[in-house]
A and B are shown apart, each in its own frame.
Chain A
Amino acid sequence: LAKTTQPISMDSYEGQEVNITCSHNNIATNDYITWYQQFPSQGPRFIIQGYKTKVTNEVASLFIPADRKSSTLSLPRVSLSDTAVYYCLVGGYFNAGGTSYGKLTFGQGTILTVHP
């Protein structure tokens, strides 16, 4: 499984755009890039997933350059409630018995603190 490197912590202010970059130099051809958010005393929550180029959903954007050795999670106009730990995961999905599953590996994540 590809190892990921992301900043340990970041600070921002309400209303700003936040970009968290993740390095994954040994990403494999069949690996996807997925980001999760975790609040204290809760399980992680899925944010976004992509394979290449740009993916956007209602909460975030994910930018992946052509070489796929890094990715950037972009959170537009953050609020205090976005203070959390953000995990970048890289891994493939395997087909077994007609289903698809992933052996997700979590690194230490990035602690994002949003200030008033």
Chain B
Amino acid sequence: NAGVTQTPKFQVLKTGQSMTLQCAQDMNHNSMYWYRQDPGMGLRLIYYSASEGTTDKGEVPNGYNVSRLNKREFSLRLESAAPSQTSVYFCASSERSSGVTEAFFGQGTRLTVV
């Protein structure tokens, strides 16, 4: 049972380059999320997708775009990377079951923009 899988695990980009972070979940969850975590800080929500076919902005969406490709996959794209986007990126999925909504997180993608 893989849960939430993120690729790649590490990436170094030059300023201005673009890339897509991939996320897939195998739990048949409707809701998926992208967060970033800067050193010593809590997680901040970038974008979320309540269900397949919908996406919405979170706290810090500027500089990012997302695609909910299907129910399993939710990708995050950086069109023109900036050093301020150096961070650890976490993807998560959630579902409400037995009165509890639990989010499951991937292992993260450590991105450095130079």
Q: Smallest CB–CB gap between A64 and chain B, Å?
A: 14
Contact of B105 with A by CB under 8 A: yes
Interface string of B44-63 (1 = CB under 8 A from A): 11001011001000110000
* B: number of interface residues (CB 8 Å): 31
Contact of B74 with A by CB under 8 A: no
Complex interface residues of chain A between 57 and 99 (CB less than 8 A to chain B): 87, 93-94, 96-99
> Chain A interface residue count: which class?
20 to 34
- Of the candidates A94, A106, A109, the one whose C-beta lies within 8 Å of that of B50 is A94
B45, A103: Cβ atoms under 8 Å? yes
With A43-B90, A43-B108, A101-B30 already in contact, the answer to whether A107 and B50 are too (CB < 8 A) is no
Chain B: CB-nearest residue to A41: B108
Contact of A30 with B by CB under 8 A: no
With A42-B108, A43-B106, A43-B107 already in contact, the answer to whether A105 and B101 are too (CB < 8 A) is no
Contact of B94 with A by CB under 8 A: yes
User: In the complex, A107→B107 CA distance in Å?
Assistant: 19
